[in-house]
Amino acid sequence: MAEQTYSWAYSLVDSSQVSTFLISILLIVYGSFRSLNMDFENQDKEKDSSGSPGSFNGNSTNNSIQTIDSTQALFLPIGASVSLLVMFFFFDSVQVVFTICTAVLATIAFAFLLLPMCQYLTRPCSPQNKISFGCCGRFTAAELLSFSLSVMLVLIWVLTGHWLLMDALAMGLCVAMIAFVRLPSLKVSCLLLSGLLIYDVFWVFFSAYIFNSNVMVKVATQPADNPLDVLSRKLHLGPNVGRDVPRLSLPGKLVFPSSTGSHFSMLGIGDIVMPGLLLCFVLRYDNYKKQANSDSCGTPGPGNISGRMQKVSYFHCTLIGYFVGLLTATVASRIHRAAQPALLYLVPFTLLPLLTMAYLKGDLRRMWSEPFHSKSSSSRFLEV
């Protein structure tokens, strides 16, 4: 009986999907903590420049950070739909430009992913002084090393088209977007994720009835011409120059081969980044609330909430919901043997537990609209 149960479970979730689960969760956690760490660094800079004690502010004023407002949250699914249609109808015309732009963005994002490791490696042997490159700016040795490694990885990916290198670039894009894009409130989070849920469901389930093809799946799986091949044909460099390079599957997704090698498990980076933005928001709110409670000498929560409930963080609750939603989406895709809109499962399993817990803890009204405001605090650590 145990062997039959194991066989049934393995038929629903194989090793490639387990890899997808683990990698996506690690990317969200890592990106969220990189975002929180950036807030702390900005706080230290503001404190050093003003000479006054800093305070945690979940809505950082760093110019490199983009905060999504309500209008942007409403129009983002529309913009994504327009981009999807452009890629569907005019892919052959724009594929080279799109590939080059994606490679440039992936290079910068992967350099950001490698930066902490490079800082650790260069700390003993080089000072943290910045080196001037004229109009290009000033960079530390760690930044130069991470950028060089990232350029090298992209060049190898262009030459080989290997799925593992594509996954590495997609991971960099996920972490960078989670770290540099912010949701300011629960209201904006609900608007964004609800709109993207409708977008995902429509383009996966209903686009075939209008366009005679699953638009989402076709765009996600369609390989692009290699820029080296296109360049060799344009410049007439000869039949043996640049013609043996493979077509490229763009890093807009994570793919992992099954144990038998018969198929790949695929998860779009949007299914990681968008829930990841929500998890980043609740992590910042957990830290803000912890600092506020320490300032008020540990004021307890509402009387009808048990101490155990108060100890459960919003980050843990939402992360568990993400895992359950991803598992449900995977099981549904194996049962129906067809692509599933992952956000159809991820959005309810992350938002509904979060809203319920916020209501029970009495934080729903504060989280709903602009929950962060300056409070002096000396605590800078969040136990997760």
Contact 204, 214 (CB under 8 A): yes
Contact 205, 341 (CB under 8 A): yes
Per DSSP, 58 falls in state S
The answer to whether residue 271 is catalytic is yes
Q: Is 238 left (phi over 0), alpha (psi -120 to 50) or beta?
A: left
Q: Which of 200, 229, 286, 363 is catalytic?
A: 200
The answer to whether residue 69 is catalytic is no
Q: Which of 14, 229, 271, 286 is catalytic?
A: 271
Contact 349, 165 (CB under 8 A): no
Beta strands (DSSP E) in the chain are: 66-67, 131-132, 138-139, 181-182, 253-257, 264-268
Q: Alpha-carbon distance 38 to 70, whole Å?
A: 24
Beta bridge partners, 248, equal 224
CB atoms within 10 A of CB 190: 18
Q: Alpha-carbon distance 16 to 14, whole Å?
A: 6
Q: Which of 316, 275, 324, 276 is nearest to 13 (CA)?
A: 324
Match 């067809």 to its residue by tokens.
338
Active-site positions?
200, 271
